[in-house]
């Protein structure tokens, strides 16, 4: 009988003995990492071009409005109409960046790696959503705030439009929540970034075109009640009708009026329902992705 | 033309989730047409608004984007395009084949539904149905070629494509009339206007310019995509 020859060498791997920061810290780190990634920070220079270009376009009306106020002493743009006016840019930003937050992890099947850490599935989805919501909010809130600061500095005749600014900021929160939830949910259904971008923009283009066409046709036949409901198909007008007009009494930014009375309640319920539906779809989608 | 490459491209377009988006868009167009017909507002003017705003303005660029980038961009993303390029097939022929696949998808999913939707609304009145079907076909072919070239040039093809369709053709075209001369959507409308005799349809570009531009853009972009593939180098993703 020969002696056993196998030897286990101690090659000096050391255990981690520092502080374990735990689940919450991991989720926050994931959210911050995703938020930076949405704007291309920490990614290649080429990934920064599109987000920063779109941020620049979003800033344009604020800068032009400040210039008009300073030179002509005239108001150029109201706060609550900012998001509706720039809806195409917001939609392109949402479409181009929300697939980034979800597609690579799905495509390279790294979800089990995340879930092997203290992060749970809910934390993962929550962190990704929080990142996209924050990004959309910043995209809208920064130009609004710049515009407000500009208005305060220029000191136009008459009181500053503080309540209009606050209304638009409340609107920005709901815009960000609704758009980000729907965008990330749609994008999560395909691991391909290109198809994700196309799907999210298709959602925006379909809803906005269908709403405009039905509303215009109804107005032609003098059915103004139906046309006011048709505007709510467009998510941007939906939030405007629910929050900025419904809750805070701003002037509608759609080309026509919104449904009065019960319309506000329905619009609010629709916003909440869409967000709930998107989050549920996301969680179901990730349950399936995590089990593979 | 190469049959195998065409078959692979068709499978990539039709076999995955992409197909649902390709079906959804014409379905919404047909749904809107049926809705307008049921409401009894199917006049010539509403039909033209629906076709200009939805069929040519929304559905066509989106379908062009999905089919045009879909034939080549996923392969570049995966890196499987190197297997294709390593075969002794001329690269311009690969580009031509993939372009023909994308163009045929647009004929099927854009031009045919446009014709059916217009027919549902106003029959064959004033030749609107033929006009918009031909316009959608011509515009769709040009979109397919341009977006395929974009797909070869950059990994952000879809984003740049929607920025062109939404910002240039939508926003800039509304404020700067000169920008309309360089928009595939306007060229498609000009073709539709030329074929139909309806007085409600008008285009501000001459058919000579639009037709020349459509042919020129299609040919130049397909040739450029072929040339680009000849010196193609696969760069790593971030």
Tokens at B84, concatenated: 């294709």
> Which region holds residue B235: left if phi is over 0, alpha if psi is between -120 and 50, else beta?
beta
Mean pLDDT of B138-162: 91
Alpha carbon distance B137, B109 (integer Å): 10
Q: If DSSP codes are grouped into helix, strand and coil, which group holds residue A180?
A: helix
> B77 vs A206: CB contact, 8 Å cut-off?
no
How many helices (DSSP H) and strands (DSSP E) are in chain A? 11, 0
Question: Considering CB atoms only, which of A202, A212, A216 is closest to B21?
Answer: A202
Distance between A123 CA and the closest CA of chain B, angstroms: 25
CB atoms within 10 A of CB B68: 33
Q: Confidence class of residue B195 from pLDDT cuts 50, 70 and 90?
A: confident
The set of residues, in sequence order, having a beta carbon less than 8 Å from that of A181 and lying 6+ positions away, is: A129, A133, A274, A275, A278, A279, A282
Alpha carbon distance A69, A71 (integer Å): 6
HSE value, Cβ hemisphere, 13 Å, CA-based, for A289: 27
Closest residue in chain A to residue B30, using alpha carbons only: A210
**In this predicted structure, what is the pLDDT of residue B59?**
92
The pLDDT tens digits of the residues spanning A89-113 come to 999 999 999 999 998 888 888 888 8
**Backbone Cα Rg of chain B:** 18
Scanning B100-139 for CB atoms below 8 A from A yields: none
Exposure class string for A157-183: b at 16+ Cβ within 10 A, else e: eeeebeebbebbbbbbbbbbbbbbbbb
Contacts of B66 in chain A (CB under 8 A): 195, 198
Residue B236 pLDDT > 70 = no
The pLDDT tens digits of the residues spanning A197-235 come to 999 999 999 999 999 888 888 888 888 888 888 899 999
Question: Considering CB atoms only, which of B32, B41, B158 is closest to A197?
Answer: B158
Per-domain boundaries in chain B: 3-230
Q: Does A205 touch chain B (CB under 8 A)?
A: yes
Crossing angle, helix B18-38 and helix B3-14, to 10 degrees?
60
**In this predicted structure, what is the pLDDT of residue A28?**
95
Residue A1 pLDDT > 60 = no
Decide if B43 contacts B199 (C-beta within 8 A): no
Q: Does B38 touch chain A (CB under 8 A)?
A: no
Decide if A96 contacts A197 (C-beta within 8 A): yes
Listed in sequence order, the DSSP H helices in B168-234 are 173-175, 184-195, 207-230
The pLDDT tens digits of the residues spanning B157-184 come to 888 998 888 888 877 777 777 777 888 8
> A44 vs B238: CB contact, 8 Å cut-off?
yes
Contacts of A88 in chain B (CB under 8 A): 166-167, 170-171
> A217 vs B39: CB contact, 8 Å cut-off?
yes
> A202 vs B35: CB contact, 8 Å cut-off?
no
Mean pLDDT of B59-75: 91
Distance between A220 CA and the closest CA of chain B, angstroms: 9
Alpha carbon distance B222, A184 (integer Å): 34
> A95 vs B36: CB contact, 8 Å cut-off?
no
Q: Does B173 touch chain A (CB under 8 A)?
A: no
**In this predicted structure, what is the pLDDT of residue A117?**
85
> B17 vs A190: CB contact, 8 Å cut-off?
yes
**In this predicted structure, what is the pLDDT of residue B238?**
44
The pLDDT tens digits of the residues spanning A261-272 come to 788 899 999 999
Q: Does A44 touch chain B (CB under 8 A)?
A: yes
CB atoms within 10 A of CB A226: 16
Tokens at A259, concatenated: 């449904």
Terminal Cα-to-Cα distance of chain A (whole angstroms): 47
Residue B206 main-chain phi, psi, to 5 deg: -75, 150
Residue B235 pLDDT > 70 = no
Listed in sequence order, the DSSP H helices in B51-205 are 60-70, 73-78, 81-85, 91-106, 112-122, 128-153, 157-163, 173-175, 184-195
Q: CA of A274: how far to CAs of A149, A239, A269, B32, B71, in Å?
A: 33, 11, 8, 22, 33
Residue B216 pLDDT > 90 = yes
Tokens at A182, concatenated: 């729907």
**In this predicted structure, what is the pLDDT of residue A8?**
81
The set of residues, in sequence order, having a beta carbon less than 8 Å from that of A91 and lying 6+ positions away, is: A179, A200, A201, A204, A205, B166
**In this predicted structure, what is the pLDDT of residue A159?**
82
């Amino acid at each position: 009988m020969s002696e056993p020859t196998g030897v286990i060498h101690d090659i000096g791997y050391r255990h981690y003995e520092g502080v374990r920061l735990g689940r919450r810290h991991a989720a926050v780190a994931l959210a911050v990492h995703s938020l930076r990634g949405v704007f291309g920070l920490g990614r290649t220079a080429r990934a920064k071009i599109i987000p920063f270009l779109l941020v620049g376009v979003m800033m344009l009306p604020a800068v032009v409005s400040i210039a008009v106020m300073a030179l002509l002493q005239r108001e150029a743009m109201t706060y609550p109409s900012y998001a509706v006016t720039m809806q195409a840019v917001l939609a392109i930003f949402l479409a181009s960046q929300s697939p980034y937050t979800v597609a690579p992890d799905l495509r390279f099947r790294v979800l089990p790696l995340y879930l092997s850490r203290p992060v749970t599935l809910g934390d993962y989805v929550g962190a990704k959503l929080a990142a996209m919501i924050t990004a959309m909010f910043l995209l809208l809130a920064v130009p609004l705030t710049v515009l407000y600061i500009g208005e305060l500095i220029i000191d136009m005749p008459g009181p500053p439009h503080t309540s209009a600014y606050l209304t638009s900021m409340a609107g920005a929160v709901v815009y960000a929540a609704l758009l980000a939830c729907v965008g990330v949910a749609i994008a999560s259904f395909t691991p391909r970034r290109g198809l994700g971008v196309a799907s999210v923009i298709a959602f925006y283009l379909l809803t906005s075109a269908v709403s405009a066409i039905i509303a215009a046709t109804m107005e032609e036949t003098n059915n103004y009640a139906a046309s006011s409901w048709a505007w709510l198909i467009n998510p941007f007008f939906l939030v405007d009708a629910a929050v900025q007009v419904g809750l805070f009494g701003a002037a509608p930014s759609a080309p026509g009026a919104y449904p009065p009375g019960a319309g506000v309640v329905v619009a609010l319920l629709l916003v909440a329902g869409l967000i709930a539906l998107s989050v549920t779809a996301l969680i179901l989608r990730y349950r399936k992705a995590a089990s593979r | 033309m190469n049959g195998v490459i065409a078959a692979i491209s068709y499978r990539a377009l039709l076999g995955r989730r992409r197909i649902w988006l390709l079906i959804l868009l014409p379905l919404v167009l047909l749904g809107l047409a049926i809705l307008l017909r049921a409401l009894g507002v199917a006049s010539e003017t509403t039909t033209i608004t629906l076709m200009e705003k939805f069929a040519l303005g929304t559905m066509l660029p989106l379908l062009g984007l999905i089919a045009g980038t879909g034939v080549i961009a996923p392969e570049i993303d995966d890196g499987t395009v190197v297997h294709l390029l390593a075969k002794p097939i001329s690269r311009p022929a690969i580009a031509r084949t993939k372009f023909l696949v994308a163009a045929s998808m647009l004929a099927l999913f854009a031009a045919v539904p446009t014709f059916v939707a217009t027919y549902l609304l106003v029959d064959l009145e004033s030749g609107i149905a033929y006009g918009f079907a031909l316009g959608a076909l011509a515009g769709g072919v040009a979109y397919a070629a341009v977006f395929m070239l974009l797909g070869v040039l950059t990994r952000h093809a879809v984003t740049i494509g929607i920025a062109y369709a939404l910002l240039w053709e939508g926003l800039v075209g509304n404020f700067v009339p000169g920008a309309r001369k360089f928009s595939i959507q306007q060229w498609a409308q000009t073709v539709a206007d030329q074929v139909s005799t309806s007085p409600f349809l008008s285009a501000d570009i001459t058919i000579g310019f639009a037709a020349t531009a459509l042919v020129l853009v299609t040919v130049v972009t397909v040739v450029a995509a072929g040339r680009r593939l000849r010196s193609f180098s696969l760069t790593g993703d971030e």
